Structure formats: structure tokens, C-alpha cells
Amino acid sequence: MHGGDGSEVSSARNSRVTTVRSLDVTDNESTKDQPPKLCGFLNKLAGKGPLRGFKTRWFVYDPRKCYLYYFKTPQDSLPLGHIEIADACFSYEVDAGDEGQFEIHTSGNDFILKAPNRQVMRYWLQQLQQKRWEFCNSRGAARDSWNSPTLPDLPTGLVAKDTDVFSYEKPSDSTESVRNEFAMEIAPEGLVGVNAARNPAAQPSTINFSLKQWGTELRNSVSHLRAGRGSSENRRSVFYTSSEEWDMIDPTSKDFQDLATQEYRRKSQLEANRVSLGSAFTFDFSRNSSRPKRPFLRDMIGPSKNRSSNEASPVEWSVSNGNKPSESQLKIQSLQEELTRLKEEHTSQKELVRLLQQTLRGSQYDKRSSSIQPGGAPDGMELVREKDQQIQALSAHIEKLGLEKESLHQEVKSLKNKVGELNEQLGMLIETIQAKDEVIIKNSSSHTEEASTPSKDLQELDRLKDSLQGYTTQNKFLNKEILELTVLRRNAVAREKALEAKCTGLEAKLCQIESKYLVLLQEVKNPVCSGEQGPAREVISRLLEDALEVETPEHPEHTVLKPHAVSEFDIFGFKTMPEDDEEEQLVAKVRALDLKSLSFTDQEVSVGVKWENYLASTMNREMVRTPELKGLIRSGIPHEHRSKVWKWCVCFHVKKFRDTVPPDYFNQLLQEALEKQNPASKQIELDLLRTLPNNKHYASPTSEGIQKLRNILLAFSWRNPDIGYCQGLNRLAAVALLYLDQEDAFWCLVAIVEVFMPRDYYTKTLLGSQVDQRVFKDLMSEKLPRLHVHFEQYKVDFSLITFNWFLVVFVDSVVSDILFKIWDSFLYEGPKIIFRFALALFKYKEEEMLKLQDSMAIFKYLRYFTHTILDARKLMSIAFGGMNPFPLRQIQNRRTFHLEKVRLELTELEAIRQNFLRQRDTSLEGRGLISDDEEDND
């Protein structure tokens, strides 16, 4: 079935989001590093029955899912539906009735689309083929499971190179060359791309409204409503004809008052005319109106449309056909004109009779009133007699007019009969003329047929050439389609075979492991107390060896046959397995498996679906700060979308800085830092390899992250000479580099140091960091009073542990999965997140800490307890739920209070230090120093 109405509804339901404002699609101009967006207007065939027809839709290609979404307008946020391009095939007909029409065939649905012309159609087909080819060839990258139906955003930082690639058939050079030869069209200017949104789309003949998606269209149209619906302009309806504009305006109260005033004046004038004694015939045949009279709509329609076939003027019909009017036609025309004149005269006579009747009734009324008056004067009797005479004259005139009316009716009836007879004669004459014309044309065509044969042959030859060119283009397109579908089918078959082999190997390995565990259980059932090497110890040692094996790039064959999914490094590049201690390896492996199992929970899957729906709704707009986005970020950003969201967060916070500097500002800073002497460069070089030694991207001097980290720190030290370089900045930049490019990571460091953190946070005195530790102690006493009293009782200074948390935002203090979820919220909300999670970590293990009754045990526990917290969902629930309320104003006020106290303490310490130095210098000058050798010589 064409149209795919079912997919439209399901996509609109899954992509339901709350929008704050609507942005024009041209705001999302593609950057110089990204390919242009494939989007534009197309007509889509949809509907059923009489409503079936083409409707204009705005189509946008989504490379993350290989979906072709379509919207009603470029400003809409909710798509009406989507087309899955990854598993689709394309076709079009050369001899199609509509130019630019093509079809997209998917599993279960067929979509018929129509472009403005053939060039645009061929460009869309070429681009859709290319997008399908790129998506399917990179389908195995950046995903943990083949069950996911979407291709996520690929990370742009250092973790972008850590994706697991499935073995596919690589397209050969010959295949690529053939595909390039089949390329057809370049992008038509103004018809495809973001610039097409500025041009109005050509509306199809059918109504551009869908009953299936009325709810989606209604929600999309809310943002387009404008104010002023109660104004008088909106009560105006306009109808357009070929020559004039017609208005329908609802009358206002003022219009009603004008009409009432005019009606009152007209009645007053009639009363005055009726009772006037100066003349018996004071009639006003013209009716004046202050409002101009609009023409009737039937007067604007041509005479041929306003008349019936029997009343059509034969003279006009004859002239329109190019024939000269005959004598009978002229006579008919004169009779019609005479009939029209008589009708007008009859109408005027009827009006005259009506007015005379009114005058007669007025006279009779005056006569009765005068006869009733007692003692009427003789002049009154004379007046009555004159009125009687006038009445008699009027009655006679009325009778005469009635007779004339009857005679006119008879004359009109006879004229109508005569006109009908003349029309019949005229019809017969016209048919005779048409028959003669056909005979003349037939005779003349036989003489000109021989002369026109060469021109017809040339026209037929041109038509055949056009058809040949069209079929050649179609043949190229279909050959490319067959070639691509063949390669994609082979890839699908290879993937299926590889998965079958992997499944078989996993089943075999599982059977072996089950048998070993059965043997182990059987041996453990009868324990042997001796220290001799028995079968049970051998089985246990072999199982431990198997458990400690990890997946490494040097043994790729294990990726198919190995049942467990723990690798040497996690997705962030951090080492998961220590090298020496066997017990620590087992603990690390258990921790890695626990983290892996937590990532497969329903809650994590639900968060991923919510993010996909949100990002699908932002295709036509940029992200904005909303409560919905804040909630999504607090739930954690999926690995595949983190690069995009982090970049947006950083750009949002440093926009005021980037707008005031040139585009190549980072490169300029780096060039100056490399060319000129930099006092911070020596310390930077010392700390590079000590930044994240457990991460493979910074493990050796030749690692890719080391050089990028060096560039960022040098550029930042040159931008902030008062800070230069402080220990801790290297870890902040290193974490940012994992998901951001070099320049974006630099701006991320600028956002943390110059926007988020207070002043003097990363200076030599670390004044801001000391203040935050005192603020955190106040929050501990308020939010966790029992734990705070417990620490005070055993005199445990937990700031020795938490100081590093605040300075580097928990880097190397928590497991990597929790670390990046903390950074998600930190880059969006700012430093308040550090306080939330620091309190949440203590709250998470509060009961365990309260059981410790020794200061050394408590301090030892504080050093490693954060690495035992693995459930990120529980920790975030405590941070964002259990710690509320958490006002930022309270933190700022306490920072101000403690800042003054710390400054006073530092001033006092500086004075004591200066005093101590002066006393030491004085004591050294007052006595001489004698060496041991000199005393021995004496």
C-alpha cells in the first residue's frame, strides 16, 4: 500500500517532545567541517479515496538513523513520519505521467514522491543512494549490539577511534569507480538544502492537510499563532476573481448606527413628501446611499456563464467563432434590445404606479380627516373636490397603464416565440457551416500531407532522441542500484554467517564451562583437607586462568569464541584489569562485569530511547536550555551522543568569549606559545605523562592525546598568564579531549576555569578551592548531620580527600562510568553539581562509615570507598533527589562569608611568616657559626 500512513503515526508518537520556540531551519547552517544537510521540499502521495493526492512536505535526512523524516513546514518540531532508507530501494519511470515522480520501496510500505523537475529527482535519488551506501558500510561501527536499529552520532574525541568494527566486505576500487561513473546530478541551486526553506514550496492541487496526523499538525501550528485575533482586520474574508476583489465584512456596532440613521432620514423624507400640499406628484426616483453599492458577483461572470443555452446571444456566439453576423442575426439582436428596453420601461411604470397608489391613499386620508372636522371652511371643500378630480384622473391613468401592461406582455410573449424560432434556424445554419468546414479541412489536408511529412519525421526523431537519453539515464541509475544492492546483500549474508559462527562458538564454550563447573561442584562436595594437588585444585586453577583472560587486539580470534565481554580497556580508554595482583584482577573483573550488567538495564535503555527521540525532534532547530533537556542530561548522556551535547554545552557557556575573538584564536595562541618563551612549559612537560597514566590515550609519549593535551595547556597558559599552569588543569583538559576536538577541549577548559569556578580557584594560593572546602563542611553538617558529628568525634578531616574532588571534578576518584555522568551535568549546570555529588557519595556509604570506630580505619576507608560505588542510577537519585532543596544562592552567600575569613587567616599567616623570617635573619647575624673541623683543630 502506498503512502505509509502507519509509519507516520508511530514516528510522530515516538518523537513527541516539548518545544519552547520554533527556529527557522536556516539557523542550522552546516559548518565547514560537516557535509551539507540533505533536505528540501517534495510532494508526497498520501490519503485514500477522494482525498488521495500529492501533499507538499519538508524532507530532512537523519544520518544517525538513516531515516528520511518529513514535516509539514521547515519550522515544525514534530515529524509527520519517516522513511527507512537503510533497507530501501529506489526506482522511477521514464514515461511517468508526472515529471520528477519516483518511488521508494521499503519493507511493508511503498512511498511515491514527486520532485519539481527531473534534475531535482535525479539528485535526490543519487544522494539517497549515497547515504544508504555510507550508512550500511559503517553500520558495524560505534555500537555494542546488532539489535539497535539506529546508527548513533559518532564521537569526535579520542574515543572515536575505539569503536568495535565488524568485518565487512570492503568495497573494491573498481566498485567505487563504477559507482562514481553512475553519478548523475549536482545539487540544484535553491531547490535542495537549507536554502530551499527560504523559497515557497509549490503547492499541489489537493488540500495540504492530513487527517492521519491532525494532532501532530495542530501541535506544530501552536508556535505559529499570532496575536490580534480580536481585531477588526481578522473579520474580513476576501474572495478573489479574475478582475476584482470581493470582501465580506461583519458589520460593527458603528455600521448598525449608520444604517439606522439613514433609514430614519429616508422615512422622514417620505413622510414629508406624502403630506406636502404644494404638489400632488413629488416623487424622488433616485435612492441615494452613503455606502457605495458593490457589483453583484453574477455581473462579474461572463455572459456565457450567466445565461442558459437558450438565452445565449447568437450574435456573440457567431462573432466569437470568427463568422460575420447575417441579416437574421442582426434582426434578432435588435429584437432583444427592444425587449430589454421594454422591460426597463415596464419596471419604471410599475414604480410610478406604486408611487401613485401611495399618493392616492394619502389623499383619501386627508379627505377623511377634513370631513370629520366640524365647520369646515369652503376652501376645504374646494380642496376636496380638486383631490377627487385628481383621484379620478389617476384611476383612469392606472386603467390605461394596465391595458398597456397587458399589451406589452402579449408583445413580449410573441417576441420570445420568434426568438426561439430564430435560434433554431441559427443552430441549423451553424451545423451546416461546421459540416462544410470539415469537408474543406479534409480536402485541404490531403494536399498538404505530402509537404508536412519531413517535419513530422524530424519531430518524431527528436522525440526518440529524448526518450533514448531518458532510458540511458534510467539504465545507469538502475545499474548503480543493482550494484549497491548486490554488495549490501553480500554484506548481510556475511554478517549472518559470522553471527551464526559466533553463536555456535559461544554455545560450545558454554557447554565446556558448564561441564567444568559440574566437575568442580562434584569435587567441592567432597572436600579434601590435605594440601596435595588434586583434581579440584587443577580445575579451580584452570577456571581462574580462563576468568582472568581478557580480549586484546593481539588475539582477534578470541572476539568470536570468547563468551565473556570484558576487554582490557573500557570504552573511555581506561584500563580495566591490573597487571600483577591476581586478587585485584578478579575484583576488577567483577567490577567491570557489574558495570556492564548495569548498562543493560531497562532504565538505561529507556534513557537511550528518550535521547534519540529528543535529538530527532531537534533536526530542524538547535538545542535550547529547557527543563526537558536538563532532565535528560541529569539522567546521563549516552556514549554515542556525548560529543555532540558536550560541544553544545561548551559553546553555550563561552559564546560571549568566542564572539569577541577571531575564528582562529586558538591557533594564534598556540603559535605564540610555541614561538615565544613560556614559563609554564617546563611544568607542563613534567605533568603530561602523569595526567591519566591508566588511560591508553595518555599512557606513552607517542600517544595521540599527549600532543593535543600539550597544545591545549600551552594555549591556555598564554591566554591566562596570571594562572599559567596549575596542577589539575591537565586532568580537566584530558577528560574533555576524550569527547571533544582539540579546539573545543580548549574552550571547555576556559569554561571551567573562567566561567564555572570562582576567581583564584587555580592560582598558587588555591584560595577558591579552600573556600569551597569550608562551604562543603557547612553543607555536610546540614545535609548529613550524623556523619558530620561522627567525623568530628574521631577528628577526621575529610577535606584532605574531597579537596581533589573539587579541584579536578572527580577525575580518578570514581569509576569512569560515573565520572562521565557527573561531567554531563557539570558542563550543563556548573559547579553546584560538584557539591551535589560529593554529598551523594558520602550519603551512599553513610551507614558503612558510621560503623567504623577508629580514625585510621575511617581515613583508610575514605581513600578507596568511591571506587566501590558502581550503581550510577542510585547515586544520581541521591544527588538530584535526596539532597534537595539545594539553592545556588546559599552556596554563593557562604562562599562570600568564608572568603573573607580565609583572606584574614592568610593575612595573619603571612604576617607571622614575615616576622619569623626577620627574627631568623637577626639571630644569624648576631652569632658566628663554627664547624666541627675547626673545634677539633683547637
- Least confident range from 301-310, 391-400, 403-412, 494-503: namely 301-310
pLDDT at position 730 is 93
Cα separation, 834 vs 822, whole angstroms: 8
Higher pLDDT, 100 or 33: 100
CA angle 716, 722, 728 (to 5 degrees): 55
Helices (H), 677-737: 681-688, 704-719, 729-737
pLDDT of the residue at 715: 94
Phi, psi of 182 (to 5 degrees): -80, -5
Report the pLDDT value the prediction gives residue 326, as an integer from 0 to 100. 60
Q: Is the CB of residue 825 less than 8 Å from the CB of residue 884? A: no
3-state secondary structure 87-133: CCEEECCCCCCCCCEEEEECCCCEEEEECCCHHHHHHHHHHHHHHHH
DSSP codes joined into one string, 350-400: HHHHHHHHHHHHHHHHHHHHHHHSTT--HHHHHHHHHHHHHHHHHHHHHHH
Least confident of 168-177, 438-447, 848-857, 897-906: 168-177
Other CB atoms within a 10 A radius of the CB of residue 95 amount to 8
CB atoms closer than 10 angstroms to residue 661: 13
Q: Do the Cβ atoms of 642 and 824 come closer than 8 Å?
A: yes
Residues 592-606 have a mean pLDDT of 72
Sheet holding 67-71, edge to edge: 81-84, 67-71, 53-62, 39-46, 110-114, 101-105, 89-91
Lowest mean pLDDT among 5-19, 684-698, 850-864, 923-937: 5-19
Q: How far apart are CA 111 and CA 104, in angstroms?
A: 5
Stronger pLDDT, 746 or 271, i.e. the higher one: 746
Which range scores top for mean pLDDT: 31-35, 248-252, 492-496, 628-632? 628-632
pLDDT at 594 over 90: no
Residues whose CB is less than 8 angstroms from the CB of residue 815 and which lie 6 or more positions away in sequence, other chains included = 591, 595, 867, 869, 870
Partners of 239 in the β-ladder: 246
8 A C-beta contact, residue 192 and residue 117: no
Q: Which of 512-516, 851-855, 870-874, 900-904 has the least mean pLDDT?
A: 512-516
CA distance linking residue 183 with residue 778, whole number of Å: 68
- Distance, in Å, from the CA atom of 418 to the CA atom of 332, rounded to the nearest integer, reads 9
Res 440: pLDDT = 86
Question: Which residues make Cβ contacts (< 8 Å) with residue 878, sequence separation at least 6?
Answer: 840, 843, 844
Mean pLDDT across 218-241? 46
Name which of 395-399, 478-482, 659-663 the model is least confident about.
Answer: 478-482
Q: What percent of the chain has pLDDT over 90?
A: 22
Is a pLDDT exceeding 90 seen at residue 814?
yes
* pLDDT at residue 524, rounded to an integer: 64
* Chain mean pLDDT for the chain: 74
- Strand-pairing partners, residue 55, are 44
Top pLDDT among 479 and 228 is at 479
Which residues on neighbouring strands pair with residue 814, listed in sequence order?
none
- Distance separating alpha carbons of residues 165 and 137, to the nearest angstrom: 10
With cell 554455545, the residue in question is 507
pLDDT surpasses 70 at 228: no
What's the rounded Cα separation, in Å, for the pair 468 and 28? 41
Out of 269-283, 626-640, 902-916, pick the least confident.
269-283
In this predicted structure, what is the pLDDT of residue 381?
A: 78
pLDDT in tens, 4-42: 444 443 444 343 333 333 333 333 333 444 557 788 899
Residue 346: exposed, middle, or buried by beta-carbon count in 10 A (0-12, 13-18, 19+)? middle
DSSP state of 151: -
| Cβ-contact 213, 199 below 8 angstroms | no
pLDDT value at residue 307: 41
List the grid coordinates of 327.
441579416
Q: Is the pLDDT of residue 145 over 60?
A: no
**Displacement of CA 226 from its chain's centroid (Å):** 21
Beta-carbon contacts of residue 257 (< 8 Å; ≥ 6 apart): none
pLDDT at 293: 43
Q: Average pLDDT for residues 704-730, to the nearest whole number?
A: 92
For 576-628, the three-class secondary structure string (H helix, E strand, C coil) is CCCCCCHHHHHHHHHHHHHHHHHHCCHHHHHHHHHHHHHHHHCCCCCCCCCHH
Residues 576 and 591: their CA atoms lie apart, in Å, by: 9
Residue 785 near residue 543 (C-beta atoms within 8 A): no
Q: What would the mean pLDDT of 92-116 be, rounded to a whole number?
A: 83
Confidence band, pLDDT 50/70/90 cuts, at residue 441: confident
pLDDT at residue 63, rounded to an integer: 83
User: Is residue 153 a contact partner of residue 640, using CB atoms and an 8 Å limit?
Assistant: yes
Band of the pLDDT at 202, cuts 50, 70, 90? low
Residue 222 reports pLDDT greater than 80? no
Give the pLDDT score at 581: 62
User: Out of 740-744, 761-765, 934-938, which region has the weakest mean confidence (pLDDT)?
Assistant: 934-938
- Least Cα distance to 18 among 78, 80, 82 occurs for 78
Enumerate the β-bridge partners of residue 695. 574
Contacts of 666 by beta carbon, 8 Å cutoff, 6+ apart: 715, 742, 743, 746, 747
In this prediction, residues 563-569 reach a mean pLDDT of: 60
| Residue owning grid cell 580445575 | 539
Which one-letter amino acid corresponds to residue 889? R
Please tell me the predicted confidence (pLDDT) of residue 248. Answer: 40
Q: Is 729 helix (H, G, I), strand (E, B) or coil?
A: helix
Is the pLDDT assigned to residue 377 strictly greater than 70? no
Q: What pLDDT sits at residue 652?
A: 94
Distance CA 512, CA 504 (A): 13
In the predicted model, what is the mean pLDDT of residues 623-643? 92
Q: Which three cell numbers stand for residue 841?
A: 557519595
- Summarize the confidence of residues 451-455 as an average pLDDT: 69
In this prediction, residue 865 carries a pLDDT of 93
pLDDT greater at residue 156 or residue 863: 863
Does residue 572 have a pLDDT over 50?
yes
Which range has the top average pLDDT, 182-186, 245-249, 379-383, 422-426? 422-426
Choice between 79 and 26, residue whose per-residue pLDDT is larger: 79
Whole-angstrom Cα distance, residue 235 to residue 248?
A: 8
Q: Region 645-662: what's the mean pLDDT?
A: 93
**Residues of the chain with pLDDT > 70: what percent?**
65
- φ, ψ (nearest 5 deg) of residue 304: -70, -25
Element (H or E) spanning 522, and its range? Answer: helix 378-525
Task: Give the span between the Cα atoms of 486 and 465, in whole angstroms.
Answer: 31
- Where is pLDDT greater, at 774 or 10? 774
Q: Which position has the higher pLDDT, 276 or 776?
A: 776
Cα 127 off chain centre by: 21
- Please tell me which of 186-200, 234-248, 252-266, 892-906 the model is most confident about, judged by mean pLDDT: 892-906
Q: Give 922's pLDDT tier (boundaries 50, 70, 90).
A: confident
Q: What is the mean pLDDT of residues 818-825?
A: 94
Residue 790: predicted pLDDT: 94
- For residue 315, name the pLDDT band (cuts at 50, 70, 90): very low
Lowest mean pLDDT among 339-348, 623-632, 643-652, 755-764: 339-348
Tell me: pLDDT of 300 over 60: no
Lowest model confidence (mean pLDDT) among 301-315, 330-344, 702-716, 844-858: 301-315
Give the residue among 194, 205, 244, 242 at the shortest CA–CA distance from 58.
194
pLDDT in tens, 517-563: 666 666 665 555 445 555 666 666 666 666 656 555 554 444 433 44
Amino acid present at 372: I
Does residue 204 carry a pLDDT above 70?
no
Residue that is written with C-alpha cell 458603528 in the block: 254
The pLDDT confidence band at residue 301, using thresholds 50, 70 and 90, is: very low
Reply yes or no on whether the pLDDT at 459 is more than 50. yes
What is residue 708's predicted lDDT score, i.e. its pLDDT?
Answer: 94
Report for 38-42, 233-237, 298-302: range of highest mean pLDDT: 38-42
pLDDT value, residue 243: 38
The answer to whether the CB of 620 falls within 8 A of the CB of 28 is yes
Least confident of 93-97, 472-476, 557-561, 587-591: 557-561
Residue 166 has pLDDT above 50, yes or no: no
- What integer pLDDT is reported at residue 511 of this predicted model? 73
